[in-house]
Amino acid sequence: MSVPSNQPAATRPQHLALFVAGCLWLVAANLAAANSAQGIADRLHLVVFEPLLHQAFLAFLLLAGFAMLDWMVYRRMAFGRANALPSRPTAGQEWLRGAALGWGMLLVAVTPMVLFGALHPQLWLAPRSWMLTVLSLATLALLSLALELAFRGYLFLQLIAATGPVAATIFLSLLYTLLATLRPDWTWWGFIVTFVAGVIFSVAYLRTHALWLGWGLHFAWVAAMTVFFGLPLAGDATYSSLVTTTASGPALVTGGVYGPEGAALTVIVLLAAVVVLYRITRDYAWNYTHPEIVSAGYPMEIAPPAAHTAMESAAASSGPLVTIAAITPTSASTLPVIDEHLRATQNAEHQD
């Protein structure tokens, strides 16, 4: 986490204190966002929009709150930098690459369900289903953003500065997983899958020093699972409105009512995705995570010795050492033989 050159870097205890303060703000922001969304939805009779409002309020409060914490320490107001969403030319490309990887991961995770079990999709093509699908996509986009801001954004940056990237990755991935156990119908395989997914999202940040790729990866994973395949997201099937799918077969393959995130084979898919993630982020890792190369060594411009400088000054003040006459001498030569030959030549020319 870079700091302005005119501001001292925070110490490890200070980063740890900022991490604790950020955790408290995360809890408060989530409660405030949930209460605000519920109040607005009830007052305007727009219950269907409550999840979208909740995630929108939460994402905004996290962006603003973490930026304010950053300003209190470094006296800078930078929403993007404080929340690991820097503005840079490759931001859109990173998001799309992450989305492509997330979509591919879900396709590979669903393949064993087709081979060793069975998927029973149902299509709902009513106009309301299409509207709910768009609403679900928007909600999942904000949900994935809020989760990345919470667990791979400001808090992750502070914990990395306080404990290092490995400890920060393990701790926040474990915390992310423990919160998932509060969902209904959770399983131990779901616990493992959620932990490995948290590690993958953390690696996405560590390879790019931004959330763009991790956000795209997270969004495509959950959107493909729920909206396009109609499968439950950690036991929650409310996002499936256009397609609803029930899976039959071994729970280790299908995940049962918990969905693909509760399947044992999904762990293998996620571990293989780490290799792909490393390959598609090679350029970003080189451009954004390696320290800038600064030339070093001895200065090449060395002042000349004082005696040499004094000698040059004395030579300049004394004028030129050799003076060339401005007019060429008219006499031919000082040798008699040459003079006699020249006179004879001139006389012959006059006679002619």
Closest C-alpha to 171, from 143, 134, 199, 139:
199
pLDDT tens string 242-280: 888 888 888 888 888 888 888 889 999 999 999 999 999
Closest C-alpha to 190, from 119, 266, 246, 111:
266
234, amino acid identity? A
Element (H, E) at 178: helix 165-180
Interatomic CA distance for residues 321 and 149, integer angstroms: 77
Which range among 16-25, 144-153, 249-258, 335-344 shows the weakest confidence by mean pLDDT?
335-344
Chain centre distance of CA 283:
12
Task: Give residue 209's pLDDT.
Answer: 94
Task: Give residue 134's pLDDT.
Answer: 92
123 or 208: whose pLDDT is higher?
208
158 or 332: whose pLDDT is higher?
158
Q: Return the percentage of the chain with pLDDT > 90, whole number.
A: 50
Q: Does the pLDDT value for residue 7 go beyond 50?
A: no
pTM attached to this predicted model: 0.79
With a CB cutoff of 8 Å and minimum separation 6, the contacts of 48 are 132, 135
Contact 264, 174 (CB under 8 A): no
Contact 106, 225 (CB under 8 A): yes
Cα four-point dihedral sign 18, 19, 23, 26: positive
Ramachandran area for residue 166 (φ above 0: left; ψ -120 to 50: alpha; else beta):
alpha
3-state helix, strand and coil shares in percent for the chain, rounded to the nearest 5: 70, 5, 25
Q: Which residue has the tokens 């404080």?
A: 82
Please state the rounded mean pLDDT for residues 98-105. 95
Q: Does the pLDDT value for residue 130 go beyond 50?
A: yes
Cα dihedral 296→299→300→301 (10° resolution): 150
User: 35: pLDDT confidence band, cut at 50, 70 and 90?
Assistant: very high
